[in-house]
Amino acid sequence: MVHFTAEEKAAITSLWGKVNVEEAGGEALGRLLVVYPWTQRFFDNFGNLSSTSAIMGNPKVKAHGKKVLTSFGDAIKNMDNLKGAFAKLSELHCDKLHVDPENFRLLGNVLVCVLAHHFGHEFNPQVQAAFQKVVAGVASALAHKYH
Ligand code: HEM
């Protein structure tokens, strides 16, 4: 299980308080679909994903990105129990959606890039280290129900 120090928790919570989940969510999911195009196959009901601009401007990508980051934000209120916080979503992604858990790690790293891009100097090495832990913890919690 991932353990967070008080400093890491404070760094994560404080930066997350400034994140615009709608904007960052759409950008993170959009970038995932552009950078790792095989992830598009999970979203074949999302309409036009034929180019970078189509993906980044697709309203379904934006709406779903917001949903994903909202649940991510709820979960980091429960940093000491990410497995519990993601139990239901792990079941959904495993049993119903059959998403390869490697994709959770990819999305986590894309999210780190989006935050770095957005926050610049404020996203210093210490803040990044804390975030890398949280995205790894979320990815492992989401993969927990896979067998
Ligand atoms: C941080 C990682 C992730 C989180 C927190 C997350 C969260 C969510 C949430 C909250 C939903 C909506 C569940 C509902 O409607 O009840 C969802 C649906 C879904 N997720 Fe994820 N997800 C993550 C990563 C991924 C990845 C990497 C993929 C695929 C590459 C994926 C594929 C899907 C699909 C296909 C759906 C259903 C979409 C639809 O409504 O048609 N998720 N996810």
Three-state secondary structure string covering the chain: CCCCCHHHHHHHHHHHCCCCHHHHHHHHHHHHHHHCHHHHHHHCCCCCCCCHHHHHHCHHHHHHHHHHHHHHHHHHHHHHHHHHHCHHHHHHHHHHCCCCCHHHHHHHHHHHHHHHHHHHHHCCHHHHHHHHHHHHHHHHHHCCCCC
pLDDT tens across 26-61, in order?
A: 999 999 999 999 999 999 999 999 999 999 999 999
Q: Which one-letter amino acid corresponds to residue 43? A: F
pLDDT digits (tens, 9 = 90+) for 64-74: 999 999 999 98
Ligand 1 site, CB within 6 A: 39, 42-43, 45, 67-68, 71-72, 89, 92-93, 97, 99, 103-104, 107, 138, 142
Ligand 1 centroid distance, CA of 50 (Å): 21
pTM: 0.95
Burial of 40 (0-12, 13-18, 19+ CB in 10 A): middle
Q: Which of 34, 67, 68, 95 to mutate to test the pocket of ligand 1 (most atoms within 8 A of CB)?
A: 68
Tokens of 83: 């497995």
> Which tens digit of pLDDT belongs to each residue from 112-141?
999 999 999 999 999 999 999 999 999 999
